[in-house]
Each structure stands twice: as C-alpha cells, then as structure tokens.
Amino acid sequence: MLATRSELLEKIRLGEDSFLEMKEVKFAGGKVRGPTQDGVANELAAFANSAGGVLLLGVEDTSRTVIGIELDKLDAVETVLREACEQSIKPPLAPIIERLTLPDAGGIEQPVIRVEVKRSLFVHQSPGGYLQRVGSSRRPIPPDQLARLFQQRSQSRLIRFDEMPVPGATLEHLCEDLWRRFVVSEGAAPREVALRKLAMAAQDDDGAWRPTVAGLLLGSERPQEFLPSAYIQAVAYQGTTVVPQGDSAYQIDASDMTGPLDR
C-alpha cells in the first residue's frame, strides 16, 4: 500500500484520505514533542480496525509539503512508534516501519518515515478507545458496529477448529439428550446460551446460530452428515503387517464407527 515513491508523492499532492495520514514531527531538545505516543497509537489502531493505511511522518498535512526529519533524530521517532505499538495499543501492533527520502518544495531530498498498517485480524484498543478510519479522520466505533466487528474479526482469524460454526447445520441437528450431558448447572438458560458456553454453538457471519465442529461431534447422532470425515474406520489385519502375504486373506475384520465421538 503506497509502497512506491511515485504513489506517495501523488497521495501527498491529493491530501489525506481513508488510507493516508500525514504528520509533521516536532522536537523539544532531543525528544519528540509531537505527535505524541498516544496520538500515534490512535492513528495506527484506527487504520488496523479499518482497511489498513499509511502514516507518513515528516510531512505537514495542511500545506501538503515535505518537511523531513533530521537524520540524527530518526531513532527517537522510531522509538516513539515502537513504544506506541507495544505499550499503547491492545493487542499490540507490528506495522512496517520504513525510512526513506522524499523531495521538499525546493527539490532537496528529506528523510521521512513511512509506517504501513495492514487490516488486522483483531480489534485494537488505543488510548482514544476503539477507533476507525473514516475519510481523512478517525472516529469512535459505534457500539453496535463494534460488537459486529469483534464477531467478524474473531471468526476470520485462526480460532480453534472445533469452535468454528459448521455451514448448513442448524441447532435442530443437535440432540438435546446428548449435549445436555455436559451442562453443569441446572439453570433455565436458553438453548443458545448453554450451547455457546459449551463452545458447541456459535453465530456465523450472518448472525445465525449453528453447531460448531465440537457441537456436532459430541451432540449429534450423525455428525458425518455435515462433517464427512467424522467417523472412525477400524481394520483388523492378520499377522503384524498390512502388506498381503501370498494369497491368504490378511484383512480379518473392519468396521466404520459413527455417532457421538465419546461413544
């Protein structure tokens, strides 16, 4: 994203948008006075919670001119970036931090720092809360949208295989006598709540409740209806090898075991 010099220069000319944020870096002595660590964290987290983007440090956003960063202060700026990602964002971010040069108004190459953030598999919280990128600014994520985002991101990342909802299956495919065996309390919790706590049911991207892989394996008489490989095939061979010995029958017995996993 905005990886080439020509792309960056064109974007600077056009100004900030959903994918680009520009900031001038100011110093007080040898320390970075602006942007602050919290401010950087808010910008990067907003990109990660949205579709990704680039933070370009060393460029004044209003005039869209390259100011640059002094060479001996690049390390201090990178430290602020690293600490913002590790200490001020939960869960932490690992963006791409690149040092490069761009021409200022007089054509002189000036050092700048490009920070690329990918769309994250997680939802990130920064000092400003849960933020998203909307055009050239960041905005708080509304509660209903935030809940939906948590659901989408949790299902898209590498979650446990047995907790994934199974497409096409419904809660009616679960046998209550089977899944009730694992309910510890005798409260009158709705079926969806009880199954969710057991990780035997989950909502898919459309909000529909579906059995999880674990739910079908333990709470269905025919899990192989939706999980074709959900059975155990046992074979007994004569002798100590599965390789045929002459013309004699070497497979003595075989059985396909189906049904709930623990049975």
pLDDT in tens, 191-242: 999 999 999 999 887 788 999 999 999 999 999 888 877 889 998 888 777 6
Residue with token string 């059985």: 255
Buried-exposed string 218-256: b where 16+ CB fall within 10 A, e elsewhere: bbbeebeebbeebeeeeeeeeeeeeeeeeeeeeeeeeee
Instruction: Estimate to the nearest angstrom the gap between the alpha carbon of 35 and the chain centroid.
Output: 27
| 125: pLDDT strictly greater than 90 | yes
Read off the pTM: 0.60
- What pLDDT is recorded for position 148? 86
Give residue-wise pLDDT tens across range 69-119: 999 999 999 999 999 999 999 989 989 999 999 999 999 999 999 999 988
- What pLDDT is recorded for position 2? 84
Any idea which of 4-8, 9-13, 86-90, 224-228 has the lowest mean pLDDT?
224-228
Identify the DSSP state of 13: H
Average pLDDT, the chain: 89
- What pLDDT is recorded for position 229? 78
Phi-psi map region of 107: left, alpha, beta (phi>0 left; psi -120 to 50 alpha): left
| 156: pLDDT strictly greater than 70 | no
The fraction of the chain above a pLDDT of 90, given in percent, is 65
Name the more confident of 94 and 42: 42
Map residue 21 onto helix, strand or coil. Answer: strand
Contact (Cβ atoms closer than 8 angstroms) between residue 249 and residue 236 = no
Give residue-wise pLDDT tens across range 44-69: 999 999 999 999 999 999 999 999 99
Name the more confident of 257 and 188: 257
| 189: pLDDT strictly greater than 80 | no
- What pLDDT is recorded for position 114? 97
| 154: pLDDT strictly greater than 70 | no
Q: Grade residue 132 by pLDDT with cuts at 50, 70 and 90.
A: very high
